[in-house]
Amino acid sequence: MGSAAERFAQGDAPTEAFIAEMRERFPVEAEVDALLTRKLRRRKGPPYSRISKDELHRTLDRMFADLDIGDHTIRDVSWFTGGVSKIQLGFWLDWSDANGPRSDRMVVRMDPSEGSNMSVVRVFRTSQAVS
């Protein structure tokens, strides 16, 4: 695929041909390959902009409606501190199911477009191993 200067010129919009070449030249395990490929494809997207608590609240309301969770309240919404690889927000969900009223502590994890290459499966398995 051309010279290094041509590849570098693609900057934040790598082509599918470039991505295919990188995958062929630098093989890695399947899970890492999927993460890196996703990251390269997302580079073409809009620049990162942090979601507000209000916007996330509206999005969660739509998601719970799609899941047929009728009356619910989202409360005590707070950002979690930590690294830049994930954006995490915690909240309490008050709702009812067949057994009656419930309150569940929940966490939303979002990947910024240029997040790190951390496998959710690997994080889960590691946390299980050290627990």
Look at residue 42 and tell me whether its pLDDT is greater than 90.
Answer: no
Look at residue 81 and tell me whether its pLDDT is greater than 80.
Answer: no
What b-and-e string marks burial along 6-41, b requiring 16 or more CB atoms within 10 Å of the CB? eeeebeeebeeebbeebeeeeeeeeeeeebbeebbe
**Reported pTM:** 0.57
Domains and CATH numbers, the chain: 4-47 (no CATH), 53-110 (3.10.450.100)
Tell me the range of 6-15, 33-42, 105-114, 115-124 where mean pLDDT is highest: 33-42
pLDDT band at 44 (very low <50, low <70, confident <90, very high): confident
pLDDT band at 9 (very low <50, low <70, confident <90, very high): low
